[in-house]
C-alpha cells in the first residue's frame, strides 16, 4: 500500500511513546502494519534509519516534527537516491540541493574523487551548504558550486 503523508502523520501519532515522541523502532513498527511503498515510505526509511539522525533532521522527535521533515524531503525535486546522498552528506534542508541536481553538480559537490563525503573545514559539505544557502536563490547556490568545483591552479 502506498504511504501518503497523512498515513505517515497518523501512524507516527499512533506510535508515539508515553513521552509523546517517535520511538527509535518506528520503522519496524510501521513495517509490521505494511507492506508500505511509495516515495513517502522510502524517504521515511532514510530519515528514520537512525534515531539521532531523525531527531537532527526533524529538529525533534514529536510526530508532527518528523512528518513535516519527511514532507519537506518528499516535496523536494530530488530523487530518493539523491535525498539519501544529501542527507548522508550532513544536510538537514533539501532546498539548496535541487538546483545542483538539476545541473548535474550534486554528486560532484557532495563527494570527492574517492566517493567520500567532502568537508568544508570540519563540517560535512551537506551541512555547510544547508547553513549557508538555506534561503538563497538558486543562482547563488549554482554560482557557489561552479566556483567550488573549479580546479585550483
* Per-residue pLDDT tens listing for the chain (153 residues): 999 999 999 999 999 999 999 999 999 999 999 899 999 999 999 999 999 999 999 999 999 999 999 999 999 999 999 999 999 999 999 999 999 999 999 999 999 999 999 999 999 999 999 999 989 999 999 999 999 998 754
C-alpha cell belonging to residue 109: 559537490
CA quadruple 34, 40, 42, 44: dihedral, nearest 10: -90
119 strand-pairing partners = 124
What pTM, to 2 d.p., does this model score?
A: 0.93
Residues 6+ apart with CB under 8 A from 85: 106, 107, 110, 111
Amino acid at each position: 500500500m502506498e504511504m501518503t503523508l497523512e498515513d505517515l502523520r497518523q501512524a507516527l501519532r499512533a506510535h508515539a511513546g508515553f513521552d509523546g515522541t517517535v520511538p527509535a523502532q518506528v520503522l519496524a513498527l510501521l513495517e509490521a502494519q505494511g507492506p508500505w511503498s511509495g516515495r513517502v515510505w522510502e524517504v521515511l526509511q532514510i530519515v528514520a534509519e537512525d534515531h539521532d539522525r531523525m531527531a537532527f533532521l526533524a529538529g525533534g522527535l514529536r510526530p508532527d516534527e518528523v512528518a513535516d521533515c519527511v514532507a519537506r524531503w518528499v516535496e523536494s525535486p530530488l530523487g530518493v537516491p539523491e535525498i539519501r546522498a544529501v542527507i548522508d552528506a550532513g544536510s538537514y534542508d533539501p532546498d539548496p540541493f535541487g538546483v545542483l541536481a538539476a545541473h548535474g553538480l550534486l554528486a560532484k559537490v557532495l563527494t570527492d574523487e574517492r566517493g567520500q563525503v567532502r568537508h568544508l573545514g570540519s563540517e560535512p559539505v551537506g551541512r555547510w551548504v544547508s547553513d549557508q544557502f538555506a534561503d538563497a536563490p538558486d543562482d547563488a547556490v549554482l554560482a557557489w558550486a561552479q566556483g567550488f568545483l573549479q580546479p585550483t591552479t
